[in-house]
Amino acid sequence: MPHINLPNEFPGIRSLFMFRPETAAPLNALVQTLLHNPHPTLSAGERELIATYVSRLNTCKYCCNIHGAIAQHQLGNKPEIVQQVLVNPETAPISSKLKALLKIAAKVQSGGKNVTEGDVALARAEGATDIEIHDTVLIAAAFCMYNRYVDGLATWQPDDINLYDKMGEQRAREGYLTPPFKVVGSAQ
């Protein structure tokens, strides 16, 4: 049961956005900018993979499932890419540059000071730009916020994987600024 009185027809962070629209606006604008808006070099799918991986490291079921579903839709419906990144990015079918960026993301998740010059040099050797390194650090840091927000208030996090797929399809298509659909028949 959530720690505060949240609307029970919206799961995860969406229930918090309904509860507090004042903070929902900048939180949605941030994730829209980081993950959905056009980027000079990183695809939306690659950025969603970073968010999904960090959410898994923080063991946030809602964020990992929903961003994994969005990533899958952004990456041409190949669930094996998301699944393999979650098991081990090193052996996943992704670019060496993205592997190096995911290493930086994991360091950020464990604490900002853990990112070393060596981590950054490795990413640069694989072709990463300043913008890509910056955005990777900020995506990882932002999901250390979103994950704590969702879990810290004990929001409702459904088990039904088909529901995440449906929500993920909507977000992959529309981005983060449109209203969510209600989950009919939900119960907490």
Smallest gap from Cβ 81 to a second copy, in A, equals 25
8 Å CB contact between 172 and 74: yes
**Shortest spacing between CB 82 and a second copy, in angstroms:** 22
Q: Which is nearer to a second copy, 81 or 89 (CB)?
A: 89
94: left (phi over 0), alpha (psi -120 to 50) or beta: beta
CA 1: distance to chain centroid?
A: 23
The one-letter code for the residue type at 16 is: L
Find the shortest distance in angstroms from Cβ 163 to a second copy.
Answer: 21
Q: What are phi and psi of 181, to 5 degrees?
A: -85, 150
Closer Cβ to a second copy, 29 or 125, answer by number: 29
Nearer to a second copy, 72 or 157 (CB): 157
73 vs 97, which CB is nearer to a second copy? 97
Closest distance to a second copy from the beta carbon of 175 (Å): 14
Q: Which of 19, 20, 12, 51 is nearest to 172 (CA)?
A: 51
Q: Is 185 left (phi over 0), alpha (psi -120 to 50) or beta?
A: left
Which residues of the shown chain bind a second copy in the complex (CB under 8 A)?
A: 3-5, 16, 19-20, 22-23, 25-27, 29-30, 33-34, 37, 58-60, 104, 107-108, 111-113, 115, 117, 120, 130-131, 133-135, 137-138, 140-142, 144-154
